[in-house]
Chain A
Amino acid sequence: MSFLSPLTLIGLSLVALPLLIHLLVRRRARRLDFPSLAFLRETPSFKLYPRRIRQPLLLALRAAALILLILGLARPFLTSNAQRNPQVRFLLLDASLSMRTHGRAEAAREQARAIINKLRDGERASLISFSSTAAVLVEASSDRGKLLEAVERYEPGGGAADYNAALAEVRARRTIEPPGVSDVDIISDFQTAGIEKRLGPHDAALRLRAYPVGQSVERNAYLINESVSKSANGIELSATEMVSESAGRGAAVRAWTMDANEGSGPALEWRTESNGQITARAGVLEPDEFDADDERFFAFHAPRETRVLLIEDGKDASLYLRAALEVAGDEGAARGALDRQRELPERAEDLAQYSLVVLTLHGTPKTNEVAALTEYAREGGTVWMCLGGDLDTESWNLLARDEAGRGLPFESVSRSSGKALSFGSADAGAPQMRALDESAMNTLRAVQVTAGYAIAPRAYGLTLARWNDENPALVSLRVGEGEILAIGTSVERASNDLGSSPVFPLLASAIVRASNITREPISRSIGEAVRLDTKPETNVKITNMAGRVVEPKARELASRPMDYFNVPGIYRLEFAGNQKFLAFNPPAEESERALLSEESLNRLLSSEKPTQGWTASEGNRLDATEREGFVWRYFLGAAFLLLIAELFVATRRRTLAQQEGE
Chain B
Amino acid sequence: MSERLLSPAVLAAIGRLDLVARTVVEGFLIGLHKSPYHGLSQEFAEHRPYIAGDEMRRIDWRVYARTDRLYVKESEEETNAPVRLLLDASASLQFTPRDVSKLDYARYLAAALAYLATRQGDRVGLVSFNEEVQTLIPARGGERHLQLILVALEQLEARGRTSIGPVLLRQAAQWKRRGLAILVSDLYDRPQEIVDAVTRVRRARHDVIVFHLLDRAEMFLEKRGTYEFRDLETNETLLADADRVRREYTERVEELRSFFRHEFERTGADYAVLDSHDPLDKALAVYLRRRRAGKAKGKK
Partners in one complex: yes
Q: Among A34, A41, A44, A52, which residue has the most Cβ atoms of chain B within 10 A?
A: A34
Give complex CA distance A532, B170 in Å.
Answer: 124
Kindly identify, within residues 211 to 247 of chain B, every residue whose CB is under 8 Å from any CB belonging to chain A.
Answer: 215, 218, 223-234, 236-241, 244-245
Quick check: is B249 within 8 A (CB to CB) of the other chain? yes
B237: chain A residues within 8 A (beta carbon): 31
Q: Is the CB of A34 within 8 A of B239?
A: no
Q: Is the CB of B230 within 8 A of A36?
A: no
Quick check: is B204 within 8 A (CB to CB) of the other chain? no
B244: chain A residues within 8 A (beta carbon): 47, 50, 52
Q: Is the CB of A33 within 8 A of B239?
A: no
Q: Is the CB of B95 within 8 A of A34?
A: yes
Least distance between B212 CB and chain A CB atoms (Å): 12
Quick check: is A40 within 8 A (CB to CB) of the other chain? yes
Least distance between B216 CB and chain A CB atoms (Å): 12
Q: Is the CB of A50 within 8 A of B226?
A: yes
Q: Mark B182-198, 1 if CB is under 8 A from A, else 0.
A: 00001010000000000
Quick check: is B77 within 8 A (CB to CB) of the other chain? no
Kindly identify, within residues 1 to 48 of chain A, every residue whose CB is under 8 Å from any CB belonging to chain B.
Answer: 26, 29-44, 47-48
Least distance between A605 CB and chain B CB atoms (Å): 72
Q: Is the CB of B245 within 8 A of A43?
A: yes
Give complex CA distance A38, B233 in Å.
Answer: 11
Q: Is the CB of A34 within 8 A of B252?
A: no
Identify A54's interface contact among B226, B231, B236, B245, CB under 8 A: B226
With A29-B239, A40-B238, A50-B241 known as contacts, the answer to whether A34 contacts B253 (CB < 8 A) is no
Quick check: is A49 within 8 A (CB to CB) of the other chain? yes
With A47-B248, A52-B244, A54-B226 known as contacts, the answer to whether A35 contacts B218 (CB < 8 A) is yes
Give complex CA distance A574, B223 in Å.
Answer: 89
Quick check: is B199 within 8 A (CB to CB) of the other chain? no
Identify B227's interface contact among A29, A43, A657, CB under 8 A: A29
Give complex CA distance A30, B223 in Å.
Answer: 11
Give complex CA distance A421, B236 in Å.
Answer: 111
Q: Is the CB of B252 within 8 A of A42?
A: yes
Quick check: is B94 within 8 A (CB to CB) of the other chain? yes
Q: Is the CB of A48 within 8 A of B95?
A: no
Least distance between A424 CB and chain B CB atoms (Å): 94
Q: Is the CB of B218 within 8 A of A43?
A: no
Give complex CA distance A60, B274 in Å.
Answer: 43
Least distance between A253 CB and chain B CB atoms (Å): 105
Kindly identify, within residues 40 to 77 of chain A, every residue whose CB is under 8 Å from any CB belonging to chain B.
Answer: 40-44, 47-50, 52, 54
Give the dominant DSSP class at B's interface.
Answer: mixed
Kindly identify, within residues 251 to 300 of chain B, every residue whose CB is under 8 Å from any CB belonging to chain A.
Answer: 252-253, 256
Quick check: is B92 within 8 A (CB to CB) of the other chain? yes
Quick check: is B102 within 8 A (CB to CB) of the other chain? yes
Q: Is the CB of A48 within 8 A of B228?
A: no
With A35-B92, A52-B244 known as contacts, the answer to whether A43 contacts B252 (CB < 8 A) is yes
Give complex CA distance A49, B226 in Å.
Answer: 9
B234: chain A residues within 8 A (beta carbon): 37
Q: Is the CB of A44 within 8 A of B95?
A: no
Q: Is the CB of B248 within 8 A of A26?
A: no
Quick check: is A403 within 8 A (CB to CB) of the other chain? no
Q: Is the CB of B228 within 8 A of A31?
A: yes
Least distance between B143 CB and chain A CB atoms (Å): 35
With A35-B186, A52-B241 known as contacts, the answer to whether A43 contacts B248 (CB < 8 A) is yes
Q: Is the CB of B232 within 8 A of A34?
A: yes
Nearest opposing residue in chain A for B252, CB measure:
A39
Least distance between A582 CB and chain B CB atoms (Å): 86
Quick check: is A533 within 8 A (CB to CB) of the other chain? no
Least distance between A391 CB and chain B CB atoms (Å): 98
Kindly identify, within residues 93 to 109 of chain A, every residue whose CB is under 8 Å from any CB belonging to chain B.
Answer: none
Give complex CA distance A49, B252 in Å.
Answer: 19
Quick check: is A599 within 8 A (CB to CB) of the other chain? no
Quick check: is A438 within 8 A (CB to CB) of the other chain? no
Quick check: is A660 within 8 A (CB to CB) of the other chain? yes
Q: Is the CB of A36 within 8 A of B188?
A: yes
Give complex CA distance A31, B239 in Å.
Answer: 9
Nearest opposing residue in chain A for B191, CB measure:
A38
B253: chain A residues within 8 A (beta carbon): 39
Identify B228's interface contact among A32, A38, A54, CB under 8 A: A32
Q: Is the CB of A33 within 8 A of B248?
A: no
Least distance between B245 CB and chain A CB atoms (Å): 4
Least distance between B186 CB and chain A CB atoms (Å): 6
Besides the known contacts A34-B229, A36-B218, 20 further A-B residue pairs in the complex with CB atoms under 8 A apart: A29-B239, A30-B227, A33-B94, A34-B95, A34-B218, A35-B93, A35-B215, A35-B218, A35-B231, A37-B231, A37-B234, A39-B256, A40-B238, A43-B249, A47-B241, A47-B245, A47-B248, A48-B240, A50-B226, A54-B241
Residues of A at the B interface (CB closer than 8 Å) are 26, 29-44, 47-50, 52, 54, 657, 660
Sampled A-B contacts (16; CB under 8 Å): A30-B226, A31-B237, A35-B188, A35-B232, A36-B233, A37-B229, A37-B234, A39-B256, A40-B240, A43-B240, A43-B249, A47-B248, A48-B240, A50-B239, A50-B244, A54-B241
Residues of B at the A interface (CB closer than 8 Å) are 92-95, 102, 186, 188, 215, 218, 223-234, 236-241, 244-245, 248-249, 252-253, 256
